[in-house]
Amino acid sequence: MKASGKEGRKRVSGAKSGAEAVPGEIRGSERVISCAEAGVEALREEMARDPNIFYIGQGIGVRGGNFQQTRGLWAEFGDERLRDTPIAELAQTGIGIGAALAGSRPIVDIVFFDFILEASGQIIQQASTIHYISNGKFKVPLVIRAAMGGVRSSGPHHSHTFYSFFMHVPGLKLAVPSNPYDVKGLLKTAIRDDDPVLFIEHKGLYGSKGAVPDKEYLIPFGEATIRHPGNDVTLVAVSLMVSRAIEAAEVLENEGISVEVIDPRTVAPLDKETILHSVAKTGRLAIVDEAYAACGFSAEIAAMVSETALDELDAPVKRICALPTPHAFSPSLDHYLIPSTERIVQEVRLLAQS
């Protein structure tokens, strides 16, 4: 580690100059809609464009999904394109893989991300490997959609955020949007991809609103964006934690601490260059993640920076994650377990002063 601070800091070799912040991404007429509405809009446009797309899941037909994530689509496209299934995640996913191999572009809605474990054999052993073991003969253009995260103290069976389990598996792509603009752009990209994509949304974000252009756009996978520019600390955050990281950055800005918030948007593929460039500028790195720290996304980012840019760090990497215990039904206890804006502020303040 260097003790010289930011003076004379060199740029990491090969790192790019930083991704464009969100305000510069909005094109066309700006409308304010929710994440749920942005997802519905993406599905509507893609299903109208390509008749090979169909959607299956629990309660996603007439009812429009637990989170209104398919609201109105059944009335437009009918039971052949949007079909309710039993609570059978393994069967849903197997159907989706088979249909993808046969030429369709299925979207399988697991609803609660916790229960993707029921389908993990199909995802890890089949969907991720078929293109490879067939020597490129077969493709699996499958989207698996699910809602993660703790909201309303839902307890240990409906609160998990273990998306990083699947970062471990070659052949899978993982998108984790944090706002309506990204939901629409990333979902459209996922549907058009020839590889299996896990599209993981946070339950706490479905109702959040933001600007979404009315023109056609796609967001490429593997391109992070800078949500809040800064010079003193790099703060990498995912999904719901992005908004809390921005709130923390605004609080710390009033204290004279400049925090750069980076949203990877996809964790597989991962935009390493944007993170490395930011660390080269700030000399300090914190990762905030609602998942547990052990063997997770935060561990991967910390290891990547330590292996690639250790000399750029002026302080140890800080990980701000859920505490290692099952989620609670008690609202006050669950709030304590999950990273809050206040906790992020405290941890990053200490890091900036170290």
Give the least confident one: 16-20, 72-76, 79-83, 255-259: 16-20
Instruction: For residue 300, count CB atoms less than 10 angstroms from its CB and return exposed for 0-12, middle for 13-18, buried for 19 or more.
Output: middle
pLDDT per position as a tens digit, 197-218: 999 999 999 999 999 998 999 9
What is the DSSP secondary structure assignment for residue 55, as one 8-state letter?
E
Instruction: Please give the structure tokens belonging to residue 66.
Output: 């637990």
Alpha-carbon distance of 347 to 238, in angstroms, equals 17
Domains along the sequence of the chain with CATH:
28-213 (3.40.50.970), 223-353 (3.40.50.920)
Q: What pTM was computed for the model?
A: 0.90
Flag whether pLDDT at 291 surpasses 60: yes
**Which positions ≥6 away from 93 have C-beta within 8 Å?**
108, 110, 119, 122, 123, 127, 144
Which residues are known to be catalytic? 158
Alpha-carbon distances of 239 from 29, 30, 158, 231, 276, rounded to whole Å: 25, 22, 17, 23, 20
Q: What is the pLDDT of residue 5?
A: 47
Number of Cβ within 10 Å of residue 167's Cβ equals 17
Q: pLDDT-based confidence at 335, cuts 50/70/90? A: confident
pLDDT per position as a tens digit, 136-167: 999 999 999 999 987 777 777 877 888 999 99
Question: 83 by DSSP, 3-state: which?
Answer: strand
Q: What is the DSSP string of 94-133?
A: HHHHHHHHTT-EEEEEEEEGGGGGGGHHIIIIIITTHHHH
Q: What is the pLDDT of residue 17?
A: 39
pLDDT per position as a tens digit, 243-259: 999 999 999 999 999 99
Number of Cβ within 10 Å of residue 1's Cβ equals 10
Q: What is the pLDDT of residue 30?
A: 74
Backbone angles phi, psi at 116, to 5 degrees: -65, -20
